[in-house]
Amino acid sequence: MKSPKILITYLLFLSCSIAFPARAEQVNLKHFTSGSYQQLLNEYADKPFVLMIWSINCTSCKKKMPLLSELRKNMPDINLIMLATDDASASNQALSILTGNELNNADNWIFADANSQKLRYEIDPKWYGEVPRTYFLDKDHQRVGISGSVSRETLEAMLKTIIN
């Protein structure tokens, strides 16, 4: 070892690289618990919004993210809420996927109640938990829910419908 300074500098560098990304990521995902869906409805009262429910292990969900990101840029008025059904320990993974798809500035949430069945039921009593699950809500919060990947045509048409 040439000098302790090099070691210390190395350690400093190492700890920065470990600590900072993790720290930056943990503040951005809101914890979705019992009552959160109602909270969303209140927060977006009289506003249309899209709720896209996804999971870090769901390839079909991730495949649609670039398209969502693109549509959002073209239609900046769209309120996009992304909700990951993974447990809160996966926050870092979820955020890194969202960041990679330029969706980290959407309204991002993650399931944070062990009783996920109850969380799902509060969103939709008819939903069995398959993902992706996308809800389109108009300003009166009349909604349509679609399971599975949504095509570009359907997405564009639905977005137009809920805005008008």
Applying CB under 8 A, the residues found at the interface with other proteins are: 4-5, 8-9, 11-12, 15-16, 18-19, 22-23, 26, 55, 57-61, 63, 87-93, 114-118, 121, 125-126, 128-133, 147-149
In whole angstroms, the minimum distance from the beta carbon of 118 to other proteins comes to: 8
In whole angstroms, the minimum distance from the beta carbon of 134 to other proteins comes to: 10
Nearer to other proteins, 58 or 81 (CB): 58
Amino acid at 12: L
Helices 152-163 and 65-74: crossing angle in degrees, nearest 10, is 40
DSSP state of 90: G
Token code pair at residue 25: 């990521």
In whole angstroms, the minimum distance from the beta carbon of 105 to other proteins comes to: 23
**In angstroms, how far is CA 141 from the centroid of its own chain?**
20
Longest Cα–Cα distance of the chain, Å, equals 69
Nearer to other proteins, 42 or 89 (CB): 89
Pick left, alpha or beta for residue 88 (phi over 0 → left; psi -120 to 50 → alpha; otherwise beta): alpha
In whole angstroms, the minimum distance from the beta carbon of 131 to other proteins comes to: 5
